């Protein structure tokens, strides 16, 4: 056995401190052995995946520490009760889908039949960009312990019926009941060892980090598996842009009915400053104002029916001519009066424990109007347009109250259009196009009104005022 003695400064002999620890000063020359650099440790190798994962910090050419900027690409919580067919493609055969209890439930009807399948995927694809990574996360639980012949997949990819996805990266519960991580390149799967075996009614947070040449699979914040791209392949998947994929099926009949229940999903682009504006992010999540927000029956918000003229509105101060978020309109010409008409009165869906709970942000409004039916007769037509936000009722006469919980609409003018006497059928008024640098905020449960006043006009027989209103906005 060898012993170290304190050299006490003697040349050529190592020194130790009072605790008999070797005193070491690392070299500062990059060419000398022992030179040290700073690294970040994201996994210490003591839990789950047995190898520590440490990565060097990145420094710019100016010597500054580089820090990444994350961009949310998709985020959804299934705490409501209505399937969003605007944002997701839903495909089922024998198995069924339902939203209940805060979960999107796959096989809600408890089928044990072979080939019973339920698949939900986004219409949108998500791009894996060079020199950045993508984070994909799911909160999920299973109704009973793993069942032989039952398969579940959660991640990114292309899939149909019950056959192997044609491309993708995902968590997969195999027919044995074990969950593994999968790298699927052009239909060929490469898997990790078992990550975990689900226990009934236990919520797991499954998170996958997708890089160009590496996949990492985390279960409840612990790294459990890694797959690196084979040296013969350029990247982890054949496609660099894939939809979010959730699929659940029985490869053969099962002895008991299993259900997969997903409460939350998220996709984030990491370490890349995209400089994407928040409205763009929200629109990319299918939360543009052209579609009703999640938690209500899916569909468009505007009054715009295929190959049909709009129904004529009845102008009123206390009721909406249309309950849509803009769109097409028409109404019979009326005599001039200082009456505010609620031509459009759209209510943002009210918030609730089991609702989507979104607010509407308005960034711009465009109005186009033209004359039809008959020429303008003895009096010109003047249309004053305005917008009202935040009313707690559809009536424009709603008042603020400190005891009843009501609020009047907050109004701003948008502009004026007019038709001169004799304006023919087809005459078009000047466009009103308002860009709102300071957006209008319409809270859940309150109304957005498009207000029309016609101080000058005549009730010319057969004359109809027609046009369109476009609301540029998004839900959040």
Q: Among 244, 274, 304, identify where a domain stops.
A: 274
What's the total number of domains in the chain? 2
Helix/strand/coil for 282:
helix
Residue 316 lies in a domain: no
Q: Measuring CA to CA, which residue among 151, 150, 125, 148 is closest to residue 136?
A: 125
- The model's pLDDT over 194-253, given as tens digits with 9 standing for 90+, comes to 999 999 999 999 999 999 889 999 999 999 999 999 999 888 999 989 999 999 999 999
- The CATH number given to whatever domain includes residue 154 is 2.60.120.200
Contacts with 437 (C-beta within 8 Å, 6 or more apart), sequence order: none
Residue 281 lies in a domain: no
235 with 150, same domain?
A: yes
Handedness of CA 369, 370, 374, 379 (dihedral sign): positive
- The model's pLDDT over 82-99, given as tens digits with 9 standing for 90+, comes to 999 999 999 999 999 999
93 with 238, same domain?
A: yes
134 with 236, same domain?
A: yes
CA angle, residues 464, 465, 468, in degrees to nearest 5: 135
> Measured between alpha carbons, how far is 463 from 469 in angstroms, rounded to an integer?
20
CA angle, residues 177, 182, 186, in degrees to nearest 5: 130
The continuous run of DSSP H or E covering 250 comes out as strand 241-250
Strand partners, 386: 413, 451
- The model's pLDDT over 411-439, given as tens digits with 9 standing for 90+, comes to 999 999 999 999 999 999 999 999 999 99
The continuous run of DSSP H or E covering 46 comes out as none
- Mean pLDDT across 133-148: 96
83 with 196, same domain?
A: yes
341 with 449, same domain?
A: yes
Q: Is the pTM of this model over 0.75?
A: yes
Instruction: Kindly state the percentage of the chain with pLDDT values over 90.
Output: 78
- For residue 166, pLDDT beyond 70: yes
- For residue 6, pLDDT beyond 90: no
Start-end of H helices in 179-290: 278-284
- The model's pLDDT over 343-399, given as tens digits with 9 standing for 90+, comes to 999 999 999 888 889 999 999 999 999 999 999 999 999 999 999 999 999 999 999
- For residue 3, pLDDT beyond 70: no
pLDDT of the residue at 1: 42
Residue with the larger pLDDT of the pair 233 and 468: 468
What is the DSSP code (8-state) at residue 67? -
Residue 286 lies in a domain: no
227 with 340, same domain?
A: no
Residue 201 lies in a domain: yes
- Mean pLDDT across 31-51: 76
Residue 304 lies in a domain: no
Residue with the larger pLDDT of the pair 401 and 69: 401
168 with 267, same domain?
A: yes
- For residue 175, the tally of other CB atoms under 10 A from its CB is 16
86 with 232, same domain?
A: yes
pLDDT of the residue at 424: 97
392 with 250, same domain?
A: no
Check if the beta carbon of residue 334 is closer than 8 Å to that of residue 452: no
Q: Measuring CA to CA, which residue among 106, 51, 65 is closest to residue 83?
A: 106
> Measured between alpha carbons, how far is 113 from 129 in angstroms, rounded to an integer?
40
Burial class (CB in 10 A: 0-12, 13-18, 19+), 456: middle
> Measured between alpha carbons, how far is 232 from 276 in angstroms, rounded to an integer?
34
Residue 48 lies in a domain: no
98 with 181, same domain?
A: yes
Q: Measuring CA to CA, which residue among 201, 219, 200, 199 is closest to residue 209?
A: 219
* Greatest C-alpha distance within the chain: 116
Residue 388 lies in a domain: yes
Q: Measuring CA to CA, which residue among 48, 353, 84 is closest to residue 225?
A: 48
227 with 98, same domain?
A: yes
| Cα–Cα distances in angstroms (integers) from residue 107 to residues 16, 78, 88, 103, 196, in the given order | 67, 16, 17, 12, 22
Check if the beta carbon of residue 151 is closer than 8 Å to that of residue 168: no
Contacts with 22 (C-beta within 8 Å, 6 or more apart), sequence order: 4, 14, 15, 16
- The CATH number given to whatever domain includes residue 372 is 2.60.120
Structural domain boundaries enclosing 470: 327-475
As a whole number, the mean pLDDT across the chain is: 92
The first and second tokens of residue 310, run together, are 């709009």
Check if the beta carbon of residue 247 is closer than 8 Å to that of residue 119: yes
Helix/strand/coil for 476:
coil
367 with 435, same domain?
A: yes
Residue 402 lies in a domain: yes
Q: Among 274, 309, 343, identify where a domain stops.
A: 274
| Cα–Cα distances in angstroms (integers) from residue 207 to residues 32, 171, 173, 242, 267, in the given order | 40, 9, 14, 17, 10
- For residue 304, pLDDT beyond 90: yes
Give the strand pairing for 150-158 and 241-250. Answer: antiparallel
What is the DSSP code (8-state) at residue 196? B
Q: Among 253, 274, 295, identify where a domain stops.
A: 274
How far does the chain reach from its first CA to its final CA, in angstroms?
70
């Amino acid at each position: 056995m060898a012993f170290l003695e304190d050299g006490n400064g003697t040349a050529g002999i190592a020194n130790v401190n009072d605790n008999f620890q070797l005193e070491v000063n690392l070299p500062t020359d990059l060419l000398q052995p022992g030179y040290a650099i700073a690294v970040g440790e994201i996994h210490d190798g003591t839990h789950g995946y047995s190898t520590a994962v440490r990565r060097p910090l990145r420094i710019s050419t100016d010597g500054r520490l580089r820090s990444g900027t994350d961009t949310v690409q998709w985020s959804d919580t299934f705490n409501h009760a209505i399937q969003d067919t605007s944002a997701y493609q839903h495909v089922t055969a024998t198995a069924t889908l339902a939203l209940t209890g805060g979960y999107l439930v796959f096989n809600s009807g408890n089928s044990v039949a072979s080939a019973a399948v339920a698949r939900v995927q986004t219409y949108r694809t998500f791009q894996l960009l060079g020199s950045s990574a993508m984070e994909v996360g799911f909160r999920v639980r299973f109704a009973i312990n793993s069942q032989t012949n039952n398969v579940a997949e959660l991640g990114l990819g292309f899939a149909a019926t019950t056959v192997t996805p044609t491309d993708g990266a995902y968590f997969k519960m195999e027919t044995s009941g074990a969950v593994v991580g999968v790298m699927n390149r052009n239909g060929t799967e490469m898997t990790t060892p078992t990550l975990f075996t689900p226990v009934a009614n236990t919520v797991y947070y499954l998170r996958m980090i997708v890089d160009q040449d590496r996949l990492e699979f985390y279960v409840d914040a612990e790294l459990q598996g890694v797959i690196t791209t084979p040296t013969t392949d350029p990247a982890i998947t054949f496609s660099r842009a894939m939809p979010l994929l959730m699929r659940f099926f029985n490869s053969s009949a099962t002895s008991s009915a299993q259900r997969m229940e997903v409460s939350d999903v998220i996709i984030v682009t990491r370490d890349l400053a995209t400089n994407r504006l928040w409205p763009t992010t929200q629109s990319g999540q299918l939360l543009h104002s052209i579609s009703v927000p999640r938690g209500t029956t899916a569909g468009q918000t505007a009054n715009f029916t295929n190959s049909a003229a709009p129904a004529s509105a009845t102008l009123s101060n206390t009721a909406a001519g249309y309950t849509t978020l803009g769109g097409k309109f028409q109404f019979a010409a009326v005599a001039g009066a200082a009456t505010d008409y609620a031509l459009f009165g759209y209510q943002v869906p009210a918030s609730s424990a089991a609702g989507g709970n979104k607010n509407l942000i308005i960034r711009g409004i465009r109005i186009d109007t033209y004359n039809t039916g008959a020429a303008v007769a003895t009096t010109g037509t003047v249309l004053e347009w305005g917008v009202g936000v935040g009313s707690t009722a559809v009536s424009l006469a709603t008042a603020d109250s400190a005891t009843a919980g009501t609020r009047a609409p907050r109004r701003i003018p948008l502009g004026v259009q007019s038709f001169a006497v004799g304006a023919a059928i087809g005459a078009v008024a000047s466009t009103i196009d308002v860009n709102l640098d300071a957006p209008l905020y319409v809270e859940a449960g309150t109304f957005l009104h498009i207000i029309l006043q016609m101080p000058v006009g005549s009730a010319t027989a057969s004359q109809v005022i027609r046009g369109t209103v476009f609301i540029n906005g998004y839900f959040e």
